[in-house]
Homo-oligomer: A and B are copies of this chain.
């Protein structure tokens, strides 16, 4: 009781000091020595200043004592996003076998239902097979050299001193292992694209720190190379691009299935040829004519929903969602479908994965935390995501083929207005 009173008193006092400019907004936590209290004060300050109520934002299980500095600054509470599960989805993959209910946090009506229907078709056809074919997180610092002659000399030097650079990089991390450095020269600009395995972490921070250490070593030993940017946009992080398509980033993962023609008919209410026609005209021709990267119907929907649910870096949806959906008829008249994701950036440790709800979502998939062997959980997780994208693609292409799209939206989406 008296605690509550104190809280009110402290809050009023800190807000007064804020208003008088004696303290800055970013200094509140420090001033009161408690981040949960700081969160309350910030929220209250904003409520008063802007004459709004932020009560719902304040209702949260998050303990900001733990979170501030790791995942957020200047918190005022939390956002709550509905979490549904799509499934059951049978996966008979390289590292995961089982039936999964995939957690998807979204506010787009019909999405979870849509993926679930695709999952049903996949499951009835025997499941999806998923496989990670490439793995590695990248960071590409950009150096300025005095001339192209020096640029090439530099690139040669880097090749020759790979082991030393590796040592410098890995001195900063237990989990990151430098596996390659790919150089790119454009005039007097040199990018070195570092690629690391990062265990079960998505690894961008790990890799940034390790690359920074490597760059310090490089600059010291090769003084003609001036580091312009630790990230030179050839990494490529959080921008759509062909570098990641062709050279991979994070997991390069594929999932495939063969849908029985009668499943296409009974579950998806369309037929094999119609689905192939939609995929070819819309995804393969349409996307490319529009100057698009990837060829798919809506992989970003699935990626975004799973990323939010499981504490991934949501800005990476940009390139993680680049996907190539391929459909063809088998000799038996069934439908072969695959989705290829060249650049799926995911982790089961680090980032937002340890937050309470996110961690539970990963637990539901059996991939929370570190894997039996380092990296295994992240790989399993990638396999599950790819299979879920596969289900999502199957359903939307089928729905379009069946002319169902708009009607589904009318039914489920109308309520929103």
Contacts and interface: CB of A to CB of B under 8 A. Distances in A.
Interface string A401-417: 00101110110111111
Interface stretch (A5-13, A158-166, A279-287, A373-381): A279-287
Contacts of A363: 50, 52-54
Given A129-B149, A285-B284, A308 B81 contact: yes
A187 B295 CA distance: 12
Contacts of A84: 72-76
A414 B80 CA distance: 27
| Total copies of this chain within the assembly | 4
B25 A87 contact: yes
A17 interface: no
Contact of A240 (B78, B254, B292, B352): B292
Interface string A86-103: 111000001000000101
Contacts of A179: none
Contact of A108 (B116, B149, B305, B313): B313
A4 to B, nearest CB: 20
A113 B294 CA distance: 33
Nearest to A354: B416
A402 to B, nearest CB: 11
Please classify the interface of chain A as helix (H, G, I), strand (E, B), loop, or mixed, using the class held by over half of its residues.
mixed
11 contacts: A61-B80, A71-B106, A73-B113, A75-B84, A78-B81, A79-B80, A81-B352, A131-B152, A188-B336, A209-B413, A305-B315
A415 B70 contact: yes
A356 B256 contact: no
A124 interface: no
Contact of A246 (B94, B184, B317, B359): B184
B405 A142 contact: no
B360 A53 contact: yes
B149 A131 contact: yes
B295 A285 contact: yes
A109 B69 contact: yes
Contacts of A355: 80-82, 107
A291 B242 contact: yes
A13 B366 CA distance: 26
Interface string A39-81: 0001000100010111111011110100101111111111111
Nearest to A59: B61
Nearest to A188: B338
Interface string A309-332: 101011111100110101010000
Contacts of A152: 131, 133
A239 interface: yes
Contacts of A127: none
A286 B73 contact: no
Nearest to A185: B133
B282 A142 contact: yes
Contacts of A357: 56-57, 77-80
Contacts of A364: 46, 50, 52, 54
A295 B237 CA distance: 12
A143 to B, nearest CB: 10
A298 B76 contact: no
A395 interface: no
A318 B338 CA distance: 22
A358 to B, nearest CB: 6
A303 B287 contact: no
A309 B77 CA distance: 11
Contacts of A282: 142, 228-229, 231-233
